[in-house]
A and B are shown apart, each in its own frame.
Chain A
Amino acid sequence: MAFTQRHLLGLEGLSAADITAVLDTAASFKEINERDIKKVPTLRGKTVINLFYESSTRTRTSFEIAAKRLSADTINVSASGSSVSKGETLADTARNLEAMRPDAIVVRHGSSGACNFLARHVTCPIINAGDGCHEHPTQALLDCLTIKEHRGEIAGLTVAIVGDLLHSRVGRSNVHALRALGAKVRLVGPPTLLPQEFAGLGVELHTRLADGVRDADVVMMLRIQRERQGRNYFPSVDEYAHYYCLTEDVVRLAKPQVIILHPGPLNRGLEISSAVADGPYSVIMNQVTNGLAVRMAVLYMLVARSKSVDVGETEALSEPARGRSGARA
C-alpha cells in the first residue's frame, strides 16, 4: 500500500494505485473511530497546521479530529483574527508557517492553485482542503470510499455528477478519481455551468437531468451557490430547481440500487428534495463518517512516512533537514 505523492494538491494525474492505497488505509482507520478510546499514537509529536482562508467548519473540524485521533498536535490558523487578514501575502504566511516546522499544512483557500503555490514555498506536505474552483481531493476520496462501500468495485459504474460543474472543486476532483478508478462519468448541469472542455477529460455531458440520471448507479449532487444567481448562469433558484432538483421521480430513472451523494450542506428543495436527501438511497451521513477516515489516512500517509515517526520528540526536532529532500521537485 504505497502512496507515491509528497503532497495532496489534487487528484488529477493520480494513479489508481495511489487512490486505492488511500481508500484501503481509510477503510482500516474506520475501526479506530468505532473504538471506545478513539485515539492511536501514530502521529505523536507531529504538528499539523490547519490554514483556512475560507471558513468551513465541517471540513476544518473533520481534519482537526482526524489529526487528534492520530495524536498529532493541531494548530488552527484562520484568515480572520490573524496576520492573514492584515494584508500579509501568502508567500509571507508560508515563510512564517515554515518557521514553526510543521509536519503538514492543511489548506483551504479561495484561489485555485493556492496549494500548489504553497507547496513551492514550504518543505512539509501540503494537503488541499479545497482551493478555489480547482480541487477538493479529500472530498472526492471520501465520495469514492462511500461508493466502494455501497457498490463494491467502482470500475464499470455509471456516476452522474449534477450541478454547477464550472465552479465545483468537488466535481473536478471526483472526475479525476472516478475516471482513474474506471467509472463512467456523466456531468449534468445547465449549459452555462457545464463547460464543453470537460468532454476532453473523457466524460459524457448532459444538460437534461433525466438523461444524466437514467440508469446511473450513483448520483452525486453538487451544492448550488445561491450567490451565482444574478450572474445570469440561471434566471432564478426556482427555475434552477424546476430543471435540476433531484426528486423521487427523477431518482426512479436510475438503477434500482442507486445511491445518492451530496457534499453538504444541503440546499433542500433547490438541488435535492428532502424526500431524496433523507430517503433510502441517500448515503449522505456515511460520507461524513468516511470523511474522517479518509483524512486520517491522508495525514498518516503523508506525515508518518518520514523516518522520524515513532521516535522521541527530541530526536525528531533535532533533525533539521527532515523532509527537505525532494522538496523542490
Chain B
Amino acid sequence: MTRLLVANGTLVDPVARTSAPADLLVEGERVAAVGAPGTLEAADATLVDARGLLVLPGLVDIHVHLREPGQEYKETVATGSAAALAGGFTTLATMANTNPVNDNGAVTQYVLERGRMVAGARVHAIGAVSVGLQGERMAEIGEMHRAGIVAVSDDGRPIMSASLMRHALEYTQLFGLPVIAHEEDDALCCGGVMNEGPTAVRLGLRGRPAAAEEVMIARDVALVELTGGHLHVAHLSTARGVELVRQAKARGLRVTAEVTPHHLFLTEEAVGDYDTNAKMAPPLRTRADVEALRQGLADGTIDAIATDHAPHHQDEKDCEFDEAAFGVVGLETALPLGLRLVAEGVLDLPTLVERMSVGPARILGLPAGTLAAGGLADLVLVDPERKWKVAARAFRSKGRNTPFEGWDVAGRALVTMVGGRILHDERAATPQLRVAS
C-alpha cells in the first residue's frame, strides 16, 4: 500500500472551521492520520512537501456541464475532468442536458462509466426531472437512481409546470434526492439575453428581470412547504432570491442554494460592448445583488459555490449577442476567485473551503469534502501566493468562454490528489503561468 506524508503545510479543516499547521498521512486511497507537524509515524512514506502551501480537501463542484454525450466538440468528460483537477476540484456532478438527455438509466450508466474510464476527478451524474427536459412527463427517476444519480434537475430550463415540480419534490423523497432548480420564469424572461435594467435599455437588448427568478423561488418554496421535498436552488443571482432562501431556511424548510463565482464578482455592466462572454442565464445583475449574494454566502444562507461550468465552442460566442450561447466556463478560475473573496474580507478561509467542499457535498449526500482520518484522500495543495493571469488559451477545458480573461488572480492548485493518487501536479515551475509584467 502506498503511503504519502503530506507535511509542513497549513491544513484547512472546513468542518472544524480551522486553519493550522498539520501533517497528513495517506495510506492507499484514504487518509490514515492527521497530526501536529512532525508527530506522525511515517518513516516509510513518500514525502509530499507542502511547505508554504494550503492543504484543502478536494473541492466539490455540484453544477457542471460536461457536454458528453452529444456535444463532445464543446467538452468531454476527459477534458472537463482535467480542467477540474487543474482547478482543485476532485468531485463533480454533471447536469442532464446532454444529447441524448440523461433521463434514463442507460445514459446515467454511460456518463458514470466515462467518468471511471478517465480516472480523473470523481464524476457524479444528475438525472433529468422530465423526459427530454420537456417539462411534461416525469423521467425514470428510480431507474436513474439505481444507476447512480445524485440529484435530479432540468437545468438549463425552468420547470414551468408547478404540478410537475410538486410531484418531483414528492417523488424524489423516495430516494432522498434533491431537486435542483433553474429558477427563471420563461414567460417573464421572454427571449431576454441579459439583466433587465439600465444596461439592457442602453444596449437595446431584451432583458430578463430579477423577478423572473424570484417568482419561481417563491413558488418552489411554497411547494417545499407543501411536499417536504428538498429543493436546491441553482445559481442564485438576485438579492430578493437570497432573502427568499433565507426565509425558507428560517422556517425549517429543506431548501439549499448555490452561487457562482461570476455572480459574486460581475455586474450587468460586464456586458459592456456586447461581450458574449458575459452572457449567461441567469444573467449578471446589479452591484446590490452582488453584495447580497456575498452576504448570503458569508452567513450560510447560500450553502455552496458552484461554477455552472458551461463550455461552448468559440463560434457559438463569436456572433451577434442575441445569437450567442448562454454560459461561461468556471472550473479553472473558481479557486482563485474564491481566495479573492477571502482577501476582500467577505469570508474567512475555512468558510470559503467549506462552501467549496463539504458544503456542496452535503447537498448531494456525497462523502466528500473532509480531511478526517478514515475519509477518502481527495485533497488539493494550493499555493495561495502564486500570481497568474487568466488566459483562456491555457485552459484544460475545451471551453474558452470566460468573462475573467486577463484578470490578475492569486492562488493556484499545485497538486490535486484523488483517492490517494496524485493526478495533477504543477510543482515543477510553469513559468508561462506566471504574471508576465
Mask of B374-397 contacts with A, CB within 8 angstroms, 1/0:
000000000000000000000000
User: Quick one: which of B198, B274, B319, B322 contacts A197, CB cutoff 8 A?
Assistant: B198
Contact A134-B203, Cβ < 8 Å, known A114-B320, A117-B320 = yes
| Contact of B228 with A by CB under 8 A | no
Q: Is the CB of A169 within 8 A of B204?
A: yes
Interface residues on B, range: 10 to 19
| Residue A113, interface by CB 8 Å | yes
Compute how far the CA of A116 lies from the CA of B204 in the bound complex, rounded to whole angstroms: 13
Chain A proximity of B286: nearest CB distance (Å): 11
Task: Report Cα–Cα, A13/B322, bound state, in Å.
Answer: 23
Contacts of B44 in A (CB 8 A): none
Q: What 0/1 pattern do residues 137 to 164 of B give for CB contact below 8 A with A?
A: 0000000000000000000000000000
Does A2 make an interface contact (CB < 8 A)? Answer: no
Q: 8 Å CB contacts to B: which residues of A74-131?
A: 89-91, 109-114, 116-117, 131
A156 at interface, CB cutoff 8 A: no
CB–CB A116/B315 < 8 A: no
Report if A12-B318 is in contact (Cβ < 8 Å); known contacts: A111-B323, A116-B273, A197-B197: no
Distance, CA A201 to CA B203, complexed state (A):
13
Question: A132 at the A/B interface (Cβ < 8 Å)?
Answer: yes
State A292–B293 Cα separation when bound (angstroms). Answer: 52
In the assembled complex, how far is the CB of residue B95 from the closest CB belonging to chain A, in whole angstroms? 27
A12 engages B202 (CB within 8 Å): yes
With A and B bound together, what is the CA distance between A276 and B322 in angstroms? 37
* A134 to B, closest residue via Cβ: B204
Of B198, B200, B204, B318, which is within 8 A of A91 by CB?
A: B318
Which residues of chain A come closer than 8 Å to B435, judged between CB atoms? Answer: none
Asked whether B322 lies within 8 Å of A112 as measured between CB atoms, the reply is yes
Task: Say whether chain A's binding surface is mostly helix, strand, loop, or mixed.
Answer: mixed
Residue B205 at the chain A interface, CB threshold 8 Å: yes
Interface string of B311-323 (1 = CB under 8 A from A): 0000100111111
Give the shortest distance, in Å, between A156 (CB) and chain B (any CB): 25
Question: Across the interface, which residues of A come within 8 angstroms of B198, CB to CB?
Answer: 197, 200
A200, B196: Cα distance in complex, Å: 14
Given A112-B274, A116-B274, A200-B198 in contact, is the A89-B319 Cβ separation under 8 Å? yes
- CB-CB under 8 A from A91, the residues of chain B are 315, 318-319
Residues of A within 8 A of B323 (CB): 111
CB neighbours of B274 from chain A (8 A): 112-113, 116-117
Say whether A135 faces chain B, with CB atoms less than 8 Å apart: yes
Instruction: Contact check, A112 vs B321: say whether CB atoms are below 8 A apart.
Output: yes
Contact across chains for B204 and A135 when beta carbons are under 8 A apart:
yes
Question: Which A residue sits closest to B207, measured CB to CB?
Answer: A195
Report the contact-size class of chain A (Cβ under 8 Å from the partner). 20 to 34
Q: Across the interface, do B320 and A172 meet the contact criterion of CB distance under 8 Å?
A: no
Q: Which residues of B contact A111 (CB under 8 A)?
A: 320-323
User: What 0/1 readout, one digit per residue, does chain B (189-219) give for beta carbons within 8 Å of chain A?
Assistant: 0000000111011111110000000000000
B320 touches A90 (CB 8 A): yes
**Number of residue pairs spanning A and B whose beta carbons lie under 8 angstroms apart:** 61
Task: Tell yes or no: A234 within 8 A of B by CB.
Answer: no
| CA A135 to CA B315, docked complex, whole Å | 25
| CB closest chain-B residue, reference A114 | B320
**Which interface residue of B196, B204, B318 has the most chain A CB atoms within 10 A?**
B204
Do A198 and B201 touch (CB < 8 A)? yes
The interface bits of chain A over 182-218 (1 if a CB of B lies within 8 angstroms of the residue's CB, else 0) are 0000000000000101101100000000000000000
Given the complex, which residues of A lie within 8 Å of B320, measured CB to CB? Answer: 90, 109, 111, 113-114, 117
When the two chains form their complex, are residues B315 and A89 in contact, meaning their CB atoms are under 8 A apart? yes
**Is residue A250 within 8 Å, beta carbon to beta carbon, of the partner chain?**
no
A316 at the interface (CB under 8 A from B): no
In the complex, the answer to whether B321 meets A197 with C-beta atoms within 8 Å is no
Report whether B273 and A112 are in contact in the complex, using a CB–CB cutoff of 8 Å.
no
- In the complex, the answer to whether B202 meets A131 with C-beta atoms within 8 Å is no
Residues of A within 8 Å of B197, CB to CB, are: 197
A251 vs B315: C-alpha distance in the bound complex, in angstroms? 51
A133 at the interface (CB under 8 A from B): yes
Cβ 8 A contact of A195, one of B201, B273, B321: B201
Kindly provide the distance from the CB of B326 to the nearest chain A CB, expressed in whole angstroms: 15
Least Cβ–Cβ distance between A129 and chain B, in angstroms: 14
Shortest C-beta distance, A178 to chain B (Å), equals: 16
Cα A132 to Cα B204 with chains together (Å): 7
Report whether A132 and B322 are in contact in the complex, using a CB–CB cutoff of 8 Å.
yes
Set A117, A133, A135, A172: member contacting B206, Cβ < 8 A: A133
Binary A-proximity of B292-328 (CB < 8 A = 1, otherwise 0): 0000000000000000000000010011111100000
For the complex, give the distance between the alpha carbons of A116 and B324 in Å.
Answer: 14
Q: Name the distance in Å between B315's Cβ and chain A's nearest Cβ.
A: 7
Residue of B nearest to A110 (CB): B322
CB within 8 A of B204: which of A90, A117, A172?
A172
Q: Which 3 A-B pairs have the closest CB atoms?
A: A134-B204, A113-B274, A133-B204
Chosen A-B contacts, 15 in total, with CB atoms closer than 8 Å, are A12-B202, A90-B319, A91-B319, A111-B320, A111-B321, A112-B274, A112-B321, A113-B273, A113-B321, A134-B203, A169-B204, A172-B204, A195-B196, A195-B201, A201-B202
